[in-house]
Amino acid sequence: MSLYPGLDAPKPPIYKRLWALFFVVFVVLSIGGTYYATKSVDYIWRWYTVPQYFFYLDDVEVLAEAEGIVASIEPAGEESAVVIRGADGEQRYLVPADGLRVDLDQFVYVDDVLGSSQQWKSGLLIYGLWITLKVSLIASVFALIIGVATGMARISNNPALRWLAITYIELVRGSPLLVQMMIWYFVIGALINKSIAGWGLGPVPTIWFGVLSLALFTGAYTAEIVRAGIQSVHLGQMEAARSLGMSYGEAMRKIILPQAIRRILPALAGQFISLIKDSSLLGVISIRELTKITREVVTTSLQPFEFWIVCALLYLILTFGLSLLVQHLERRAI
């Protein structure tokens, strides 16, 4: 759909079909070319190794904790209750009924397998995806709060507030996120952990330094977007609200910000999509998010092609999901 319909001569019907065909051919050739290139360097694709990093069947074994004789085996629901009588008295174990591996009166030693069952467990990639999602979500919420607050401080009449906002924005935008993460973890984190250790408190979990660095980084960019949004709302709106008995803060909250947020939604979406992708740097401060996990998986599986592609696709799912959500919000906004 053209943004300026009617400005140019109408296109013949073949126009759309021809260029759609071009698009499909382009995509197919790109993928095909990549596949051909991997063939020519003798890379052996093993996609079948991928699913187990999402979910796998795990053997869960029940081990004897002390040696002795199996005194009784009685059914208890879907499981069997195994009682082992040893020198130190009796011990009772619950073992899956269909996975029982001992008989009555059998002598078992410590760590002998009494029974086993198979269970589905989530793999490393799911774990990494979850950490990425968690860090991004928490950091996004903080970034939005920091961004709106800083954006408003940036246009405040109070010089201290304004200069603090400008200093923060310029500092954070002026250095690489990777360096900031290092500083948060190895400098500020170390200082904080040492100080609170003096009060008898344990170290702050690493993930919080990751969340902080991401939130403060994205917050600085969000602040500038929010400021532009606020300034794009006509001055008369503030005057109208004030003349109707609202204080500055109330007018900002009820009149200016709702309109500003609607206008800056596309820009905000971009910023938070960036945040999700920036979380991939958190591996450097040993947070096991998706990218770090993928690196681990590649090291053990020796299948870099498959897993880096899978990693990228997983990020794509997260970012595209966010994109769809924002599009939905945009449509709802008037």
Partner 1 sequence: MSDQKSLLQLEGVCKSFGPNLVAAEVSFSLEKGEIGCLLGPSGCGKTTLLRVVAGFESIDQGRVIIDGTTVSTATSHLAPEKRTIGMVFQDYALFPHLSVADNVAFGIRNRPGRQRRRKVAELLELVGLAGQSGRYPHEISGGQQQRVALARALAPEPELLLLDEPFSNLDALLRERLTVEVRDILKSLQTTALLVTHNQHEAFSVADSIGVMFAGAIQQWDRAHDIYHRPASLAVATFVGDGTLISGTVEGPGTVRCGLGVLRGDLSLPCSSGSGVDLLLRPEDVLHVEDAEIQARVVHKSFRGPTILYQLELTSGEQCQALVSSHHNHGIGQWIGIVAEVDNLVIFPQEPA
User: Can you give the binding site for partner 1, defined by CB under 8 A?
Assistant: 234, 236-237, 239-247, 255, 258-259, 262, 334
CB-based burial, 6-44: b 16+ in 10 Å, e otherwise: eeeeeeeeeeeeeeeeeeeeeeeeeeeeeeeeeeeeeee
Q: How far is the CB of 253 from partner 1 (least distance, A)?
A: 13
* Residue 332 Cβ vs partner 1, minimum distance, rounded to whole Å: 11
CB distance 28 to 80 below 8 Å:
no
Query: Closer CB to partner 1, residue 258 or residue 266?
Result: 258
CA quadruple 263, 265, 271, 274: dihedral positive or negative? negative
Helix (H, G, I), strand (E, B) or coil at 279: helix
Minimum distance, C-beta of residue 223 to partner 1, in the bound complex (Å): 22
Taking the complex as a whole, the smallest distance from the CB of residue 248 to partner 1 amounts, in Å, to 8
Quick one: how far is CA 214 from the chain centroid?
Answer: 12
Q: State whether residue 108 is helix, strand or coil.
A: strand
Shortest Å, Cβ 334 to partner 1: 6
| Residue type for position 280 | S
Question: Closest CB to partner 1 among 194 and 234?
Answer: 234
Query: Could you tell me the two tokens for 259?
Result: 């309109």
By beta-carbon proximity to partner 1, the closer residue of 34 and 243 is 243
Nearer to partner 1, 13 or 331 (CB): 331
CB of 148 to partner 1, least distance (A): 17
Largest CA distance in the chain: 96
Choose between 160 and 244: whose C-beta lies nearer to partner 1: 244
Structure tokens at 221: 């960019």
Q: Name which of 118 and 243 has its Cβ closer to partner 1.
A: 243
Distance between CA 305 and CA 311 in Å, rounded? 10
Helix, strand, coil shares of the chain as percentages rounded to 5? 65, 15, 20
